[in-house]
Amino acid sequence: METDKDMEMILKLQGIDYELGELERSKDYLPDMINNLEREMEETSSALKNFEKELTEQILLNKRLDIELATLNQELAKFQKQMRDIKTNKEYDALTNEIVNRKLKISSNEEETLKVLTNIDDLKEKIKQNKQKLEEIEKYNTTQLAYLKKELSSIEDKIKIKKGERKNVTVRIDKKLLSTYEMVKKGRGNHVVVTIKKRACGGCFKAIPPQKIQEIRKGDRIFTCENCGRILIWTEDSS
């Protein structure tokens, strides 16, 4: 029957419109996906550089502490040596204060050096982990980026092809039926043709009278839902 041919074309048109909708949405979400992948690589790389910079600073600090410690030990040794040559209580008190002062500074230096060495070990481990993480991210993201950028660049060509297919289908559909389809599509989106499910419209779930269901099952004319306007069809899955 001609109705069967019309319905076949309408279903084909709906499939094309769905694919066109997906392509249009891709134009929005693909750039976001690309930006997210690029940002992930940049942030991981930036974190690695920060750890490396911090490690360099800690190594320099450790060297400075080593120099300070050597100087303090030299001064301590000098003052301890001078203790053998003191002649007055005043000189004794002064040297004693200097020795105590150097010992306190040496103790403080050693504590700070221990913290710095711990930081250096921690940073080396973080750098190792982040290098591995960056390598894995770059390997995966580079492949994904190549694919997504290729998809993005081909979208317009795909849309052009689908629009051509759409035009070839629409000229083969009854004008009144096509008008109904376009009107419903404008108000309901691409979900225009729906199957009957549990004796109700598969779009709005409005119950359909038994007599109308019997008429729809015959397939000799087109029926629309009285509630939402969608085109109704009966399939093997309908019940």
**Residue 239: is its pLDDT beyond 70?**
no
End residue of a domain, out of 144, 173, 202: 173
Residue 46 dihedral angles phi and psi, to the nearest 5°: -65, -40
Task: Name the more confident of 8 and 107.
Answer: 107
CATH at 138: 1.10.287.1490
Taking the whole predicted model, whether its pTM rises above 0.75 is answered as: no
End residue of a domain, out of 132, 155, 173: 173
181 shares its domain with 167: no
Average pLDDT of the chain? 92
Owning domain of residue 212? 177-233
End residue of a domain, out of 136, 152, 173: 173
**Residue 219: is its pLDDT beyond 90?**
no
Ordered DSSP codes for 75-119: HHHHHHHHGGG--SHHHHHHHHHHHHHHHHHHHHHHHHHHHHHHH
Question: Is residue 42 a part of any domain in this protein?
Answer: yes
d(CA 5, CA 7): 5
Residue 198 dihedral angles phi and psi, to the nearest 5°: 50, 45
Residue type, position 130, single letter = N
Question: Is residue 124 a part of any domain in this protein?
Answer: yes
Residues 8-21 have pLDDT tens digits of 899 999 999 999 99
d(CA 161, CA 149): 19
d(CA 9, CA 57): 71
